[in-house]
Amino acid sequence: MSAGTAAAIAGAVRAGERRAVDVLEEHLARIEAREPEIHAFNLVTTDAARAAAAAVDEQVARGEDPGPLAGVPVALKDNLCTRGIPTTCSSRMLEGWAPPYDATVVERLAAAGAVVVGKTNLDEFAMGSSTEHSAFGPTRNPHDTSRVPGGSSGGSAAAVAAGFSPIALGSDTGGSIRQPAALCGVVGVKPTYGRVSRLGLIAFGSSLDQVGPLAADVADAALACEVIGGHDPGDSTSLPEPFPDLRAHLDDGVEGMRVGIVAELTGDGISPDVAAQVRAAAEALAAAGASVEEISVPAVTYGLSAYYLVAPAEASSNLARYDGVRYGLRVEAPNSVEMMEATRTEGFGDEVKRRIMLGTYALSAGYYDAFYGKALKVRTLIRRDFEAAYSKVDVLISPTSPTTAFRFGERSADPMAMYLSDVCTIVANLAGHPAMSVPYGTDAEGLPVGVQVMAPALGEVPMFRVAAALERSLA
Amino acid sequence: MSAATGFDPAEWEVVIGLEVHAELATRTKLFSAAPNRFGEEPNTHIDALTLGLPGSLPVLNRHAVELAIRVGLALNCTVQRSVFARKNYFYPDQSKNYQISQYELPINRDGWLELPSGKVVGIERAHLEEDTGKTTHVGGGGRIHEAEYSLVDYNRAGVPLLEIVGRPDLRSAEEARAYVSELRAILVAVGASDGKMEEGSLRVDCNVSVRRRGEDALGTRCEIKNINSLRSLGRAIEYEAARQVDLITSGERVEQQTRHWNEEDGRTHTLRSKEESDDYRYFPDPDLVVLDPSEEWIEQVRADLPMLPAARRHRLAERSGVELERTALIVERGLDELCLAAIDAGADPARTLTHAEHNLADERATGLDPAAFAELVTMEVDGKLTATQAKTVLAEMVEKGGAPAEIAAAHGFEAMDTSQLEAMVDELIAAHPDEWQRFCDGDAKITGFFVGQVMKATKGKADGKVVTGLLHQRKG
């Protein structure tokens, strides 16, 4: 366990061996040094962080336990509501808006002793795979600043990769935690739909959105999941089951486990370097005692089409509230109707408008059955395909992203090329299953590759066992 | 066009179906903990969800569901697994720019209610949805496009509504009013709503079409909005039906429209035609889960339902022997229990119900002692009190309580001897020969003069009917 991990920091702070304020200053120094180049943050909350860290130290001094994340700096994707702190979704529409409440996950982090250091950049309203669609400028990949960090949680992934905070939270609607985690060489987890509260997460595609952590290693990701997960009565889609003790199982190994390699995600469209790392990961698992076989999950191939109907349809409705009437941007006009039109015209970027239009069309009278209705049926088929696969194997592995980090501008002019970045990740969202990305080696240019581990609903324990085994195999 | 004129109901049939929105009497809103209260400072009963703030999520109010089930069962509906959907449209009083409603699968479907006439009216569905806020457009004639500015009050936004969609089974303005009254009585009886049309807690949209009698196909309908009272409902239907008949008889066609009732000019005006109707892009709300009340819950709600107005009318009709329609007012006033108890205590049923209909409008009447009421009725039937005296005694019983015999004695009420009355009548005839002549010539109006004189002389103790009888005897 390196001294920089969240677990090490919390352990030392709880034991009174390190002060939270010192931990914070080390991280603030790193932020000051490299943030101008990376632009991971929309806002660094220096003062609030210093106050929070001091409060943690006072708790320790009083003999109280601040919790399992005592003094751990944490970065929050800027679509998670923070009380009194601007929450923008990287959109002009919400520039300067400060929510009157904390998201449930933010409350839970604070209750565990974490120290929020800032709000991270994202593709506007979490729509994108490169963080290039932020209204406040792109985030750069710490491994190669000429390349994107992935998206939409690119700021959170870059923050962890650059050592700005050992843990960051992101949100994942079609791969928005896992893909940037892969491109930045960190661990990223999308838990089972309903396992982490969405209350206070600004919605994109409500039936797909899930909050999860990005972390430098698997153990920290597990720790963060345990802190933020579990039932929340404020979210009607929250599952009643308590979040399992993941860290108790990280060393269980994979002896006797059945691992499937998703056949549809090995060839076409997957870069050879990435495919080679997935094979290497499979071999490592086999060497650790798992049985490994290639297995067909046909649903993977039509997931993309279903996703680009369901997510925009829900987004078109979720984003309707941004009209200038109550909060956020208002562009003045002669009457309310024109004011709403002008506000939305000016407040949203092109990618957001494109998805609102796609979604509006998919829900329109006469098209519902052909588009949104059919996409819902495809989701059912996807779940069925996965059920069949999971009757034969315990977990599935695949690439997280078809390629390693790409250069700025490489895909931003071609929406379809950008959408294909999500081809490996979106099926887990459509099925509601847990999935995570684990760094596994590099490509020929030295850029990080991520391997995705997927499991059936509520299968976080076997998923983390496999992820931990992969991490160990690299040590 | 000219003001709509009347039409021949023997030739034309009016077909009416009503959509009633009832605000449910919950403590908090349908999906949040903001209070559900009427008429206070604007924007004081709001919270994150009411304002549609980013990151807010809806959580269904269990009490609202229970009230919806109560109404559904009271309307003989099937309570079923249901799904909340989003109805998408932009308007400033709609904080999320979508309304959470139920679309394909409503919580209640396929019920009916019985009017006091005995007629049964079908209910298609009764579903849950959230109310909108209220917008005031200032300047420009109150229209959004021309207004100088608009004000929005979100206190009402998110208040639980039950939309009760009736089948087009109604055939007259009178029936439509009876339907709304009955529905209101049921809502109040089950504690689901206060049913106040004037305060907007009960809102009625009305679909009207006309057809020639004998035709099977329904005519093209128009939906009328902005009906704020039972009286407006009747007027709007009568105007609209006449307008449609006028159109058809002058060779034009009725266009499917939404029309606005204007109370002042007594007409309906075009709001929008079918072609202009919005595409609401309904889809299941992904923030909510399927609502599937358990059998046990539904049966518990059913077991706890009070006796409903229709059942009370039938019970009263059966036990009193009067025709069903005469029981409506008594049940509406909540006097049926009192009447039944008085009848049980030996009171004459017909006389008991007559008092309840005519002499017990005072809302304190429900507190009458049934035994005392029965005693009063019996005194009257036995001729110990005249009808007028009985009414006076009854009024005092309602106001102050007390035994009828004592009240009657205190007033000096005692039945007049007929021979005394005969003498009095003869004196009157002698003293008023002109009036007597008019009476004998068949001027019925002069009867009141003689009866009045007798009443005056006897301080109301005489029985008016007996006096009239004596006058006719004398006339021969």
Check A152, A197, A238, A398 and give the catalytic one. Answer: A152
Confidence grade of residue A26 (pLDDT, cut at 50, 70, 90) = very high
> Exposed, middle or buried, A228 (CB in 10 Å: 0-12/13-18/19+)?
buried
Q: What single letter denotes the amino acid at residue A233?
A: P
* Three-state secondary structure call for residue A31: helix
> Is A374 noted as a catalytic residue in this protein?
no
The average pLDDT across B353-382 equals 92
* Closest residue, chain B, to A198 (C-alpha): B55
**Predicted confidence (pLDDT) at residue A78 exceeds the cutoff of 70:** yes
Distance of alpha carbon B128 from alpha carbon B100, whole angstroms? 9
- Residue B469: what pLDDT? 84
Checking if the pLDDT of B3 tops 60, the result is no
Contacts of B282 in chain A (CB under 8 A): 363, 368
One-letter amino acid for residue A360 of the chain: T
The hierarchical CATH code for the domain B418-475 is 1.10.10.410
Q: How distant is the Cα of B278 from the closest Cα of chain A, in angstroms?
A: 10
Residue A353 annotated in active site? no
A473 membership: H or E segment, kind and range: helix A460-474
pLDDT of the residue at B2: 43
pLDDT at B455: 83
**Planar angle of CA B170, B172, B174, nearest 5 degrees:** 105
CA distance A124 to A179: 16
Residue A269 to residue A156: CA distance in whole angstroms: 27
Mean pLDDT across the stretch A315-334? 96
Ordered by start, the domain boundaries in chain A are 6-249
pLDDT grade, residue B476 (50/70/90)? Answer: confident
Residue of chain B minimizing CA distance to A207:
B286
Contact criterion met (CB < 8 Å) for B54 and A199? no
Q: Any CB–CB contact under 8 A between B95 and chain A?
A: yes
- For B297-329, what is each residue's pLDDT tens digit? 999 999 999 999 999 999 999 999 999 989 999
pLDDT at A421: 83
- ipTM metric: 0.96
Q: What is the pLDDT of residues B272-299, one digit of tens each?
A: 887 666 799 999 999 999 999 999 999 9
- B107, B69 in Cβ contact below 8 A? yes
Mean pLDDT rounded to a whole number for chain A: 96
Q: Which residues contact A175 (CB under 8 A, 6 or more apart)?
A: A129, A190, A400, A401, A421, A422, A424, A425, A426, A429
Tens digits of residue pLDDT in A39-71: 999 999 999 999 999 999 999 999 999 999 999
pLDDT score for B417: 66
Do you find a cis peptide bond into B277, omega within 30 degrees of 0?
A: no
Residue contacts between A and B (CB atoms, under 8 Å):
107
Overall average pLDDT of the B404-420 stretch: 80
Mark yes or no for CB contact B54/A340 under 8 Å. Answer: no
CB contact under 8 A, A321 and B90: no
Q: What is the pLDDT of residue B139?
A: 84
Mean pLDDT over residues B11-29, rounded? 97
B99 to chain A: nearest residue by CA? A317
CB of B203 within 8 A of CB of B180?
Answer: no
Answer whether A336 sits within 8 Å of B58, measured CB to CB: no
Q: Do A199 and B279 touch (CB under 8 A)?
A: no
pLDDT, tens digit (0-9, with 9 covering 90-100), for A206-237: 999 999 999 999 999 999 999 999 999 999 99
What's the token pair of residue B29?
């809103």
**Among A403-412, A441-450, B107-116, where is mean pLDDT lowest?**
A403-412
CA–CA distance, A41 with A189 (Å, rounded to integer): 20
pLDDT of A1 above 60: no
Q: Helix, strand or coil for residue B230? A: helix
Residues in chain A closer than 8 A to B54 (CB atoms): 81, 87, 89, 94, 97, 99, 202-203, 321
pLDDT at A455: 98
- Say how far apart CA A69 and CA A113 lie, in whole Å: 5
B291 - beta bridge partners?
B82
pLDDT of residue B142: 76
Nearest to A320 among B48, B97, B147 (CB): B97
Q: Which residue of B has its CA nearest to A344?
A: B90
The residues, any chain, with a CB within 8 Å of residue A353's CB and separated by 6 or more, are: none
In degrees, rounded to 5, the angle at the alpha carbon of residue A18 between the alpha carbons of residues A12 and A21 is 125
Q: Which residue's structure tokens are 């290693």?
A: A217
Banded model confidence at residue B265, pLDDT cuts 50, 70, 90: very high
- How far apart (Å, rounded) are the C-alpha atoms in residues A190 and A171? 8
- Domain topology for A6-249: Amidase signature (AS) enzymes (3.90.1300)
- Tell me the shortest Cα–Cα distance from B184 to chain A, in angstroms: 32
- For the cut 60, the answer to whether the pLDDT of residue A388 exceeds it is yes
Residue A269: predicted pLDDT: 85
Chain A nearest C-alpha distance from B142 (Å): 12
What is the residue-wise DSSP string for A58-110? HHHHTT----TTTT-EEEEETTB-BTTB---TT-GGGTT---SS--HHHHHHH
Provide the pLDDT confidence category of residue B470 given band limits of 50, 70 and 90: confident
- pLDDT, mean of residues A373-383: 94
Residue B204 near residue B177 (C-beta atoms within 8 A): no
Alpha helices in B382-475 (DSSP H): 387-400, 404-410, 418-431, 433-440, 447-458, 464-475
Q: What is the pLDDT of residue B144?
A: 79
The verdict on a CB contact (< 8 Å) between B150 and A336 is: yes
- Per the CB < 8 Å rule, is B144 touching A87? no
- 8 A C-beta contact, residue A119 and residue A85: yes
The answer on pLDDT for B6 being more than 80 is no
Question: Which residue in B356, B465, B471 sits closest to B422, CA to CA?
Answer: B471
More confident call, B413 vs A403: A403
User: What's the rounded mean pLDDT across residues A159-187?
Assistant: 98
Q: What is the pLDDT of residue B1?
A: 42
Nearest neighbour of B55 by CB, restricted to A81, A337, A365: A81
Q: Is A345 on the interface with B (CB under 8 A)?
A: no
- Distance between first and last Cα of chain B: 61
Q: Mean pLDDT, to the nearest integer, of B132-158?
A: 88
Q: What is the pLDDT of residues B149-204, one digit of tens each?
A: 889 999 999 999 999 999 999 999 999 999 999 999 999 999 999 999 988 899 99
A189 touches chain B (CB under 8 A): no
The predicted structure's pLDDT at residue B37: 87
Strand, helix or coil at B107? coil
Q: What share of chain B is helix, strand, coil (3-state, %, to 5)?
A: 40, 20, 40
Nearest CA in chain A to B43: A326
Q: Is pLDDT above 90 for B416?
A: no
Where b means 16+ CB within 10 Å and e means fewer, B20-58 reads bbbbbbbebbbbbebbbeeeeeeeebbbbbbbbbbbbbb
SS3 A311: helix
At B38 the pLDDT is 74
Pairing of strands A258-262, A73-77: unpaired
Percentages helix, strand, coil for chain A, rounded to the nearest 5? 45, 15, 40
DSSP run (H or E) holding A261: strand A258-262
* Other residues' Cβ atoms within 10 Å of the Cβ of residue B218: 13
Question: Using CA atoms, how far apart are residues A221 and A227, in angstroms rounded to an integer?
Answer: 10
CB within 8 Å: B55 and A314: no
Q: Which of B127, B125, B143, B126 is nearest to B135 (CA)?
A: B143
- When mean pLDDT is compared across A304-308, A387-391, B459-463, the lowest value belongs to B459-463
pLDDT confidence bin for A203, thresholds 50/70/90: very high
The pLDDT assigned to A416 comes to: 77
Mean pLDDT for chain B overall: 92
Q: Which chain B residue's Cα is nearest to A337? A: B145
Q: Distance (Å) from the C-alpha of residue B285 to the closest C-alpha of chain A?
A: 9
A365 lies within 8 A of chain B by CB: yes
Task: Give domain limits for chain B.
Answer: 12-302, 309-410, 418-475
Q: Is residue A102 less than 8 Å (CB to CB) from chain B?
A: no
What was the pLDDT predicted at A2?
A: 66
Active site residue A391: no
